[in-house]
Amino acid sequence: MKTLKLFALSTMLLAAPAFATTIEMTVNGLVCGFCAQGIEKTLRKNPATADVLVSLENRLVAIATKEGQDISDADLRSALTNAGYDVKSIERTQSSMSDLRAKLKVAK
């Protein structure tokens, strides 16, 4: 019984990062509203994308994924690099898009 509980717990812990609520990326090369619109349009094409936030001032691109879905770092890097941007970091967090918008004072 202990083994089963440990297995279930370890499986849940290992699976948790793969289905993060929000993916936050630091991106260089964001200079204008047109850049933000292009990135948002590109990222919304991915079927796992629920919402996108682009903050030029903070060089931040955030994606909320649909429940139970994920987008690989390689796919994100590829999409942004092909669009002419330089991805400096990718981090999966449990921050909600509402919290990020409030923190950054960005309207939806």
For 37-84, the pLDDT digits (tens) are 999 999 999 999 999 999 999 999 999 999 999 999 999 999 999 999
Boundaries of domain holding 81: 19-104
Residue 60 lies in a domain: yes
Count helices and strands in the chain by DSSP H and E runs: 4, 4
Residue 11 lies in a domain: no
**Model-wide pTM > 0.85:** no
CATH code for the domain of 62: 3.30.70.100
Indicate the number of domains in the chain. Answer: 1
Residue 16 CB neighbour total at 10 angstroms: 11
Cα Rg, the chain, nearest whole Å = 16
